[in-house]
Amino acid sequence: MRESKIMLLQYLTGLFILVLGTFHMLLLSVLAPTSNKVLYQYASTNHTLIGGTLYYSTVTAIYHTLLWGSIFELLLTFLVFHIFNGFRIILSEQFPGAKAEKVITYSMLILGLVIFIWGSRTIVLMLLQGGI
């Protein structure tokens, strides 16, 4: 693939990460599926955690919806491409040369795939079964 196509994807994924990442962060506040939007809610009598945006069951409830599952999967895809292509660029500059670049490109491709499969597994399991 031509470098200009790869770099165009790099810039576009960066933009999408910004948008989807914003939604991801808004889940902690404005879009939080809790009524009072607090991160942690403790019982009034003792310090037992009973709710809040970061409460385990609240978090898993978000993953149960197909919309949010798809958004997270997209975010993961864009992040994996952006991060590992970024690493490829940095390492190619540090170790220029045909052989080194081949090793770097394939290493990043394999590492990216491993992370992508592992992350997708988490999202899909959460979506289907409600937990990992």
Partner 1 sequence: MELVLKGFGEVVKTVTFRVRRYDPEKKEMPKYMEYKVPVQRGMTVLDGVLYIKEHLDPSLAARYSCRMGICGSCAMIINGKERLACQTQILELNKDLIKVDPLGNYDTVKDLVPDLNKLFKNHESVKPYIVREEAEPYGEYIQLPEEREKYALFTECIMCGACLSACPTMATDDLYLGPQALAQAYRYIADSRDAGFNERLNLLDSKHGVWRCHFAGACSEVCPKGVDPALAIQLLRGVLSKNVFIKYKQNPAKLGPERASIKEVL
Is position 67 an interface residue for partner 1 (rule: CB under 8 A)?
no
Sole binder of partner 1 in the list 5, 45, 48, 66 (CB under 8 A): 5
**CB of 26: closest distance to partner 1 in angstroms?**
31
Least CB distance from residue 107 to partner 1, whole Å? 15
Q: What are phi and psi of 42, to 5 degrees?
A: -105, 155
- The contact mask relative to partner 1 for 72-101 (x = CB under 8 A, - = no) is -----------------x--xxx-xx---x
Task: Count residues binding partner 1 (CB under 8 A).
Answer: 13
Q: Which is nearer to partner 1, 31 or 91 (CB)?
A: 91
Q: Which residues lie near partner 1 (CB under 8 A)?
A: 2-5, 7-8, 89, 92-94, 96-97, 101
